């Protein structure tokens, strides 16, 4: 991961801020959450490395993904779209 990439801690912080206050993950969910955060972080770092772009562009890309979840209060399932 390059020094310009988004850190895993920053992604964890972002995910916590975006989670609905009325829902908390169970202890059994922690492993899949951690793996997902690591995967997303790795993908963003790989994209940044391939594009050689600044952090601000990677944040813009991440915000595009997040915005879909911020506006919908239902669970988004890709196989139903």
CA 51 to chain centre: 19
Q: Which residue has the higher pLDDT, 51 or 79?
A: 51
Residue 27 placed within a domain: yes
Residue 3 placed within a domain: no
Residue 49 placed within a domain: yes
Q: How many domains are contained in the chain?
A: 1
Give the residue numbers spanning the domain of 67.
Answer: 8-80
Q: What is the pLDDT of residues 20-44, one digit of tens each?
A: 556 788 899 999 999 999 999 999 9
Describe the crossing of helices 55-71 and 30-51 by its angle, rounded to 10 degrees: 140
Describe the crossing of helices 30-51 and 8-18 by its angle, rounded to 10 degrees: 120
Claim: this prediction has a pTM higher than 0.85: no
């Amino acid at each position: 991961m390059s020094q310009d990439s988004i850190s895993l801690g920053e992604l964890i912080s972002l995910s916590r801020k975006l989670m609905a206050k009325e829902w908390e993950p169970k202890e059994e969910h922690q492993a899949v959450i951690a793996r997902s955060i690591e995967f997303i972080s790795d993908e963003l770092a790989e994209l940044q490395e391939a594009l050689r772009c600044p952090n601000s562009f990677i944040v813009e890309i991440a915000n595009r993904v997040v915005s879909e979840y911020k506006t919908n209060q239902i669970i988004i399932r890709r196989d139903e779209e």
